[in-house]
Each structure stands twice: as structure tokens, then as C-alpha cells.
Amino acid sequence: MTSTHPRLTLLGQHPSALKGILRGIEKEGLRVDQHGKLAQTPHPAALGSALTNPRITTDYSEALLELITGTHDSTESLLGELEQTHRFVAQNLGSELIWNQSAPAGLPPEADIPIAWYGTSNTGMLKHVYRRGLAERYGKAMQCIAGVHYNYSLPDELWELLDTAGKEPQQRRSEGYLAQIRNFTRYSWLLMYLFGASPAISKGFLQNAGQYLQEFDETTLYLPYATSLRMSDLGYQGNKAQSELQLCYNDLDTFLSRMHTAVTTPWPDYEAIGTHRNGEWIQLNTNIIQIENEYYSNIRPKRATGRGERPATALAERGVQYIEVRCLDIDPASPIGISADTSRFMDAFLLFCAVEPSDNFANNGFCTDSHSNFGTVVKEGRKPGLTLIKDRQTISLTDWGTELIERIAPYAQLLDQAHDSGDLHAQAVARQQEKLADSTLTPSATLLADMRKLGLGLQDYTLQQSLRHRDTLRASPLNGKLQQEYVQLASESFLEQKRLEDGDTEDFDSYVERFHRALKP
């Protein structure tokens, strides 16, 4: 092993602690027709209620599917469930298919992009009006960007081993996750280099994008060395209200205080829009962000919430439960949007972030260099000779990346030992070093090379690829027992949605007012 940090040695002596690591995935994907155009149809009834089906829902747009796994103690079971859900969905989309690219498919005019609908319960209407607000603030096209969210938790046993600061287990857990988030913030540029897969977008997707991007062909814009335009300032990162937020990950109280300020402070542009138009709700409020989930970040501290419970309130009362990594692009080469290698690398990388020393950020909790490094890599990460800022000194991306891979490798070995998985994690990490040695092996470079080789723009290339993935998934239908399980979940979800609708006893205006009051300072 290349590292001799005492914490790493301690982990090697307690492999059982690593078996308690859990991971889950939320994978988004647009429904499109056979020509690659955004589906205008409602969420398919065969998939159940988007409000209450625990495995299949929608995100911002009615056409943006979100497939959710449970928590798993291994990559194999995690991706196994994700594949099963994809297979069920593929069998029930009729002539439609899932767009397997983070950059959106061919979009209709903004007015014709459907906002997600969750029924008439107060819970469902809150979700819908929130999305109306997103449309007003960021435009509907933004709602069609897709990604893979990777959820990750460590057992309390591990936080105890690491001797994380805090008097109570809840405090130690929260402090540990915040330290992990700080390290993630320092090093997440590496994920964008290794796994970024959206170096191009279709023309017309975003207004004025042409002034920032170059022409790939008559249908596609790109940046020659970009890794993930989805995560660049062309997207949510470029929103002025959001860009001025500086949430602090040095301690939970400060993080929650700044989040409270963001969800309670009016923003002039949103005040000008108002909350109602023609007697209908168009956004939940006129503040910097309507609710906590609107804050667009690469990673979030998370805690499961009850119906109507505010995320910030749950964090304040019960502490951080897990982290949600939000910067992974859909892997265009995988029918389920993520590979086993990526999952195994993520596990080793996130364990590394949790265990390695993690000093607090200076500058009022805002790490300027880390944000600059991330922004540089998403737009020009494969540029020959590219340098980043490390400890206020310049360093080549390749040298720093190689150093990080060497530091992550021992954690991969520990995971292999704990799971008795041969060298699967170690090999997954080693394969990332190959990308650092040769940038043409990165997903972003591979995508552009394939498009050039086939003479296709992003739209036609992704359509061909998505059709192949659809056929692959349909070629392996679920067995009878699994099929029935998914059908039963869909059926029960409609009953649960109706129960919520029938059980509401207050009008929506009162419900929204009570929801806002539920946020504790």
C-alpha cells in the first residue's frame, strides 16, 4: 500500500466495518419517441404512480423518468436491481425508449415541454408547483438534463473507529459526513475527468450557447476538450441567484443556517414573477430557492424525510444519514447508465474522502480553488498540459490525478478484502489510471471520436445507441416472479396515491403555508 495513514491501517484491522457500507442509485432518463423527440405522453400507467411508486418516478419533467434502487451492500446487487427496473420499464414503454445521454434529446418549444404531474393531493401539488417554479426560474429545457445520483452511507461502527469528533453518535456521524463532503469538494474534479460524458449538446438546447461553444456539425455544439457540459456554467451553475449561495460544509449548524437564509430570503427577479398567475400557483415562494432541494450542488448531506417534512428540519433534528453525489453523467455505453467499474471506483473514492484528513475550508467556508478546478475540468479537462490549483500552487491534472489514484488504491484493496471480491475494486481503480495516461480513453473523448467516425451529430448518435440499449433490455424480460413484483408495486402505488388524495383535509394554500412554517430556524 502506498499510504501509511493511521486511519487506513486501522481500517485494515477491522474489515467488518467496511461490509456495512451501503450504496443506492437514482438514475434519470428522458422518455423519447422512436425519432428521439421528447415524449409528449403522460407517465405510463404501467409504471405506477409517479408520486408513490418507490422504484419508478419522474423528476422535473413528466418525460424525465427517475429509476430508484434500494440500498445495497454490494455493487452486484445494486446494479442488478437497477438493471431489473430498466428491463421492466423497457417492456412497458411501447414504442418509446429511454434517452441514454445526459444532454437532452430533441426538445419541442418550451411551452410544449410537460412539467411532471403527481395528482391532486397536497403532497403531489406541492411537487408540481415546485417544478412550475423551476420552469419560471431556469426554463423548461433545463429540466430535461439527466444524470446519475449515487447515494452512499457508512456504518456508525466506522465513524467510531475513525474517532470522529463529537459527543454523541449522531454528532460524530454528521461531522464525519461533512468532512467527507469537504474532501469530495477538493477532489471531485477527478470524477468529471474520468466519467464526464457530455462534451456536446444539440443546437437550440440553450439560448446563446453558441457564443460559448464550437460547432461540431450542423446539428451539434461542443467544446473540444470538455468532459461534462451538463456540470458547467451553461446549466444551473450559471444561475445568478444560485451562484451567490455559499453553503458551508465546515459544520452542520452553519450549513443549515445558510440554507435557512436561502429558502427565506426574497430574490428580486423571483419577486417580480410572483407566486400566482391567473389565479394559479406558479412557484412556492419568491425566495432565492423555493425549497432545500432546489440548491444545485455536486453533493448533498441527506436524511430521509417523512411526508411534508422539510429536509433541513430532518437534518437538524436527526443529523446526516448519507451523502448524495449528483455530478455523475449518464454513461452512454451502458444500458443502465452506469458501469460496475464506475460504481466500484466511486465506493473506493468516497471511502478515501471519508477517511483521509479533511481540514475545514477557510474563506468563510467557501473553497474557491476547488470550485475553480471543477469548472476548469468540465469545460477543458482533456486539454494537453492542463494545470489545476493545489495548495495555492499549480500542478498538472495528470500528475495530481495520478497521485490521487495512488492514494485511493489502498482503499480499493480494503474493499476487495472485506467483500472477498478478488481484485475487482483494485482493477476498477487501476483502469482509471489508464485514462489519465491517455485522455482518448475517457468517455467524453470516446463519445466525440465515435460521432466523428460515424459522421453523426449528438442527436442521431444517441438515438442509435438508445435504440440498441432498448433492444438489449427487452431481449431479457423479467421472470414471472419479478414481473409480478413490479406490477404489484405499480398497482399499490395508485392505491396509495388515492389514499393521500382522499385523506387531505385542508386546502392547498393552507398546506403550503404550513409547509413553509415547518422550516425551523
Query: Residue 462 falls within a domain, yes or no?
Result: yes
Chain centre distance of CA 330: 10
Pairing of strands 220-222, 200-202: antiparallel
Query: Residue 430 falls within a domain, yes or no?
Result: yes
DSSP readout, 338-388?
A: --HHHHHHHHHHHHHHHHS--PPPSGGG--HHHHHHHHHHHHHTTSTT-EE
Q: Which residue has the cell 411537487?
A: 127
Query: Residue 111 falls within a domain, yes or no?
Result: yes
Backbone angles phi, psi at 319, to 5 degrees: 80, 175
Q: Please say whether the beta carbons of 100 and 46 come within 8 A.
A: no
Q: Which amino acid is at 239?
A: N
pLDDT at 316 over 80: yes
Q: What is the pLDDT of residue 296?
A: 87
Mean pLDDT of the chain: 93
- What is the percentage of the chain residues whose pLDDT exceeds 90? 82
Length, in residues, of the chain: 521
**Interval 396-409: pLDDT, tens:** 999 999 999 999 99
pLDDT at 39 over 70: yes
In this structure, is the dihedral angle defined by the CA atoms of residues 221, 227, 230 and 231, taken in order, positive or negative? negative
Comparing CA positions, the residue from 397, 18, 4, 458 lying closest to residue 217 is 458
Instruction: Report d(CA 444, CA 449) in Å as an integer.
Output: 9
Q: What is the pLDDT of residue 2?
A: 46
pLDDT grade, residue 105 (50/70/90)?
confident
Q: Is residue 388 classed exposed, middle or buried when 0-12, 13-18 and 19+ CB atoms within 10 A define those classes? A: buried
Instruction: Report d(CA 65, CA 116) in Å as an integer.
Output: 10
Query: Residue 1 falls within a domain, yes or no?
Result: no
Instruction: Report d(CA 512, CA 498) in Å as an integer.
Output: 20
CA angle centred on 377, ends 374 and 379, rounded to 5°: 110
pLDDT at 239 over 80: no
Query: Residue 75 falls within a domain, yes or no?
Result: yes
pLDDT grade, residue 3 (50/70/90)?
very low
Query: Residue 318 falls within a domain, yes or no?
Result: yes
Within 10 angstroms of residue 381's Cβ, the number of other Cβ atoms is 29
R_g of the chain computed on alpha carbons: 22
Instruction: Report d(CA 250, CA 490) in Å as an integer.
Output: 42
Q: Please say whether the beta carbons of 193 and 327 come within 8 A.
A: no
Find the domain containing 387 and state its range. Answer: 6-517
Instruction: Report d(CA 462, CA 450) in Å as an integer.
Output: 11
pLDDT grade, residue 243 (50/70/90)?
low
Q: What is the pLDDT of residue 510?
A: 97
Q: What is the DSSP letter of 330?
A: P
Backbone angles phi, psi at 302, to 5 degrees: -130, 160
pLDDT grade, residue 211 (50/70/90)?
confident
Q: What is the pLDDT of residue 13?
A: 85
DSSP readout, 110-122?
A: GGGSPBP---SSH
Comparing CA positions, the residue from 243, 249, 238 lying closest to residue 288 is 243
**E-only strand ranges, 363-513:** 387-390, 393-396
Within 10 angstroms of residue 442's Cβ, the number of other Cβ atoms is 24
Q: Please say whether the beta carbons of 42 and 117 come within 8 A.
A: yes
As a whole number, mean pLDDT of residues 128-143 equals: 93
Q: Which amino acid is at 390?
A: K
Within 10 angstroms of residue 217's Cβ, the number of other Cβ atoms is 16
Give the 3-state secondary structure of residue 198. Answer: strand
Comparing CA positions, the residue from 416, 353, 448, 427 lying closest to residue 154 is 353
Q: Which residue has the cell 409517479?
A: 50
Which cell goes with 242? Answer: 444560485
Instruction: Report d(CA 137, CA 290) in Å as an integer.
Output: 10
Query: Residue 74 falls within a domain, yes or no?
Result: yes
Q: What is the pLDDT of residue 246?
A: 73
Give the count of domains, the chain.
Answer: 1
**Interval 438-487: pLDDT, tens:** 999 999 999 999 999 999 999 999 999 999 999 999 999 999 999 999 99
Instruction: Report d(CA 13, CA 6) in Å as an integer.
Output: 11
**Interval 424-442: pLDDT, tens:** 999 999 999 999 999 999 9
Which cell goes with 464? Answer: 442509435
Q: What's the CATH number where 133 sits?
A: 3.30.590.20
Which positions ≥6 away from 123 have C-beta within 8 Å? 51, 307, 308, 500
pLDDT at 244 over 50: yes
Query: Residue 393 falls within a domain, yes or no?
Result: yes
Backbone angles phi, psi at 488, to 5 degrees: -65, -40
CA angle centred on 413, ends 5 and 165, rounded to 5°: 40
Q: Please say whether the beta carbons of 274 and 480 come within 8 A.
A: no
Q: What is the pLDDT of residue 205?
A: 85
Q: What is the pLDDT of residue 1?
A: 38
* 476 φψ region: left (φ > 0), alpha (ψ -120 to 50), beta (else): beta
As a whole number, mean pLDDT of residues 179-192 equals: 97
State pTM to two decimals.
0.96
Instruction: Report d(CA 61, CA 26) in Å as an integer.
Output: 15
* 48 φψ region: left (φ > 0), alpha (ψ -120 to 50), beta (else): left
